[in-house]
Amino acid sequence: MKRPPFDPTFALGGLFDQPTPDSANQIAKTDQARTPLKVSEAAQLIGDQVAALGKLCIEGEISGYRGPNNSGHIYFSIKDTRAVLQCVVWKSKISAIKMALAEGLQVVVEGRFNYYAEGGRLSFIVDSIRATGQGDLDAKFRLLCAELKELGYFEESRKRALPMLPRGIAIITSASGAALQDCLAVAARKFPSVPITVIDVVVQGASAAAAVSNAINVVDLAARRMRIDVILVTRGGGSREDLDAFNHRLIADAVYSCSTPIVAAIGHESDTSVIELVADVRASTPTAAMNRILPDRDELSQQLDFVNASLRQSLLQCCQFKSRALAQVSSRPCLRDPAQLLLLPRAKLSHLNKEFCAKMLARIDRARRTKLELSSRLETTSPAAMLGRSQAKAHAARQRLDMSMNQFLTQARRDLQAIAAQLQAVGPQGTLARGYSITKTSDGQLLRSVASTKPGEVIRTILVDGELHSRIEKGG
């Protein structure tokens, strides 16, 4: 079979195709891709592409945080479950950061990417940082702690020890919370004779910080008068948001300026709040707080019994020593008459010994009663007691003065009303009301006589309810 002649139109893709515009661009790009670039040129391309991204906000968790280095810059990374980005805060931007940075903090960073060509590193240059979600509370807590630490609020040297046995306890908490019931149960078991004052406040929400701080200030002012030696601020467990009221500057200032020892027990043992760091004593739970404040009644009773027994033993030893010394003196014939020795048998010495012990105990009891009496007198003559009595007298005098002034004003009103009634009775209106009238001429002169009138003249007659105008027809 004879082969057909060659037709170039059937040889597409071969040497006889004419290049289209699209294919020409593709060939140019292919040639460019095959042309090698210098490293600096490639880095310049990367830098241009990164700079074109502009300003971005990125959310992540702080990792590898390091404080300012020798140059004053801060370096850290932000990460999520799939990636990590290196971040830098230049020294000039640190003052704009309004939160405390720390490992694990969830934040949103705002800034721009930068490709460092000489080191081949891609970094995110941070302009500002803000906390997000739970990180907001952590950031606020850390920032306040850093501020209060610089002011000395956390110094152990300023914190006071609790009294061994307080005269009274004030508990600032919610009256309906379980924390109060735990505290009262411990107090009833350990030392029920100590009076407890409960101040009911809100311990959660926007108004809790102001309520708690105000309660601390009020109780502290009245502590001496109410014989309160310890203030307990407590509440039960809850979420981080529920306990956030106790991380407020208002409460920290109130606790720091309080002159009465304060115990704080907020939430569970794992929870830490600002009030607990500033307070004199921190307790893990409300129950633990009451155990720290109150001594055990049984243990105190045992200690008193031990001290009492030791005192009696010491007195007996002293008496026995004196008895032996007296016996030694009595046994020396050169010091006394043998006949007098017979007058002091051992039974007599034993009696004297018991009598001496009884007198010593009686003297101790008298001294104790005297001390109590002097303490009572001192309390009644103390400035606080005298001030209270003076205030009571001033209050009574004010009440008497108010009563006297009210009685005086009431009588004065009665007298004024009586005089007004008399004046009204003899006054013009009263006279007119009884049927009399007043007549005046047209020019306002009082008409006293008929002789002073003339026919045709207009006169005015004033009655109790108005005036009459008349014309004289015939004169007197």
pLDDT per position as a tens digit, 245-283: 898 899 999 999 999 999 999 987 777 889 999 999 999
Count of structural domains, the chain: 4
**Residue at a domain's end among 260, 295, 330:** 295
Phi, psi for 440 (deg, rounded to 5): -130, 155
Q: Is the pTM of this model over 0.85?
A: no
DSSP characters for 291-357? HHHSPPHHHHHHHHHHHHHHHHHHHHHHHHHHHHHHHHHHT-TTTS-HHHHHTS-HHHHHHHHHHHH
pLDDT at 450: 77
Residue 378 lies in a domain: no
Helix (H, G, I), strand (E, B) or coil at 363: helix
Q: Tell me, what's the pLDDT at 273?
A: 87
In a domain, 279, yes or no: yes
178 with 278, same domain?
yes
pLDDT in tens, 79-92: 888 889 999 999 88
pLDDT of residue 346: 59
The predicted-structure confidence for 373-395, as pLDDT tens digits, reads as follows 777 776 766 677 777 778 888 88
| Domain co-membership, 312 together with 264 | no
286 and 307 share one domain = no
* pLDDT given at position 474: 74
Q: What range defines the domain where residue 447 resides? A: 433-471
103 and 181 together in one domain:
no
Q: What's the pLDDT score for residue 24?
A: 55
In the three-class reduction of DSSP (H, G, I as helix; E, B as strand; rest coil), residue 258 is classed as: coil
Q: What mean pLDDT is reported for the chain? A: 80
Q: What is the pLDDT of residue 358?
A: 79
Residue 43 confidence (pLDDT): 85
The reply to whether 173 and 269 lie within a common domain is yes
Task: Quote the percentage of the chain above a pLDDT of 70.
Answer: 82
Question: What mean pLDDT comes out for the span 125-136?
Answer: 75
Residue with tokens 């074109």: 52
Least confident segment among 26-40, 45-59, 189-203, 225-239: 26-40
Same-domain status, 197 and 312: no
Model pLDDT, residue 343? 47
Q: Which of 273, 266, 135, 285 is nearest to 203 (CA)?
A: 266
The mean-pLDDT minimum among 190-199, 399-408, 418-427 falls in 418-427
Q: What CATH number has the domain bearing residue 103?
A: 2.40.50.140
Are 122 and 150 part of one and the same domain? no
pLDDT at 167 over 50: yes
- The last residue of a domain, from among 80, 97, 132: 132
- pLDDT at residue 348 in the model: 60
What is residue 173's predicted lDDT score, i.e. its pLDDT? 93
Q: Give the range with max mean pLDDT: 35-39, 92-96, 262-266, 459-463.
A: 262-266
Indicate whether 162 and 121 sit together in one domain: no
Contacts of 475 (CB under 8 A, 6+ apart): 450, 451, 453, 454, 455
Task: Give one DSSP letter per residue of 445-464, joined into a string.
Answer: -B---GGG--TT-EEEEEET
Considering the domain architecture, whether residues 318 and 254 belong to the same structural domain is answered as: no
Instruction: Clarify whether residues 214 and 280 are in a common domain.
Output: yes
Residues 280 and 222 in one domain: yes
The three-point CA angle 369-375-378 to 5° equals: 140
pLDDT category of residue 31 using cuts at 50, 70 and 90: low
> How large is the average pLDDT for residues 401-414?
89
> Is 438 in contact with 459 (CB distance < 8 Å)?
no
Best-predicted range by mean pLDDT (205-214, 265-274, 451-460): 205-214
**Whether residue 291 is found in the same domain as residue 207:** yes
Domain-embedded: residue 19: no
Place of tokens 């891609």: 122
CATH of the domain at 245: 3.40.50.261
Express each pLDDT in 287-331 by its tens digit: 999 999 988 777 777 777 777 777 777 777 776 666 666 665 555
- Using alpha carbons, select from 224, 260, 230 the residue that is nearest to residue 384: 224
**What confidence category does residue 336 fall into, taking pLDDT thresholds of 50, 70 and 90?**
very low
Residue 270 counted as domain residue: yes
Task: Report if residue 254 sits inside a domain.
Answer: yes
Residue at which a domain ends, from 260, 277, 295: 295
